[in-house]
Amino acid sequence: MAVAHMDLKEALDTLKDTGVRITPQRHAILEYLINSMSHPTADDIYKALEGKFPNMSVATVYNNLRVFREVGLVKELTYGDASSRFDLVTTHHYHVICESCGKIVDFHYPGLDEVEHLASHVTGFKISHHRMEIYGTCPECASKEAH
């Protein structure tokens, strides 16, 4: 199932609406996040873009990601390992995480929206959101283990 990722135009419009200046670097970082399905770290993004922006540092990438996070475009995911991964805020999707290499893959499952209604109904809570993580071994790691 396809993940309903926001497109670049939507993301750029959000920045414009919140008054964030769109620099070429910000544009490139957003584009990279939109095209990447793998929840890159700041370091991944830096390595992918350093050829295009030789004077960009990891700190620049990180600061821009923080700006995106503050305007609600990006979520910072921390899964116990040292480096935060970044993910565009999208419609509901869930993460399947490889326990061997740490790769995170999106999958979309709309059926879980009912969980929030039920939780609210049963507990009386006003529910803001939920988070589900599924763990396993990715095909690449599984095939390595088999050999």
Whether residue 147 is annotated as binding a ligand: the answer is no
Lowest mean pLDDT among 12-16, 19-23, 121-125: 12-16
Flag whether 108 is marked binding. no
Task: Clarify whether residues 16 and 83 are in a common domain.
Answer: yes
* 5 belongs to an annotated ligand binding site: no
Inside any domain, residue 53: yes
Radius of gyration of the chain (CA): 17
Domain boundary among 50, 68, 88: 88
Q: 3 in a domain, yes or no? A: no
Neighbours of 66 (CB within 10 A): 13
* 1 found inside a domain: no
Mean pLDDT of 133-139: 90
Per-residue pLDDT at 24: 93
In contact, 81 and 43? CB cutoff 8 Å: no
Angle between helices 42-49 and 58-70 (to 10 degrees): 120
- The predicted-structure confidence for 19-38, as pLDDT tens digits, reads as follows 889 999 999 999 998 888 67
Does one domain contain both 61 and 123?
A: no
The pLDDT, as a whole number, for residue 13 is: 83
Average pLDDT, the chain: 83
Percent of the chain with pLDDT over 70: 86
Six-digit token string for 66: 């923080």
Are residue 51 and residue 113 in the same domain, yes or no?
A: no
pLDDT in tens, 29-63: 999 988 886 789 999 999 999 999 999 999 999 99
Distance (Å, rounded) from C-alpha 14 to C-alpha 33?
15
Instruction: Write out the residue range of the structural domain in which residue 70 sits.
Output: 8-88
β-sheet with 94-98: strand ranges across? 104-107, 94-98, 133-136
Residues 54 and 126 in one domain: no
Average pLDDT estimate for 92-115 = 77
> 130 a known binding residue?
yes
Tell me whether residue 27 is annotated as binding.
no
Is 138 annotated in a binding site? The answer is: yes
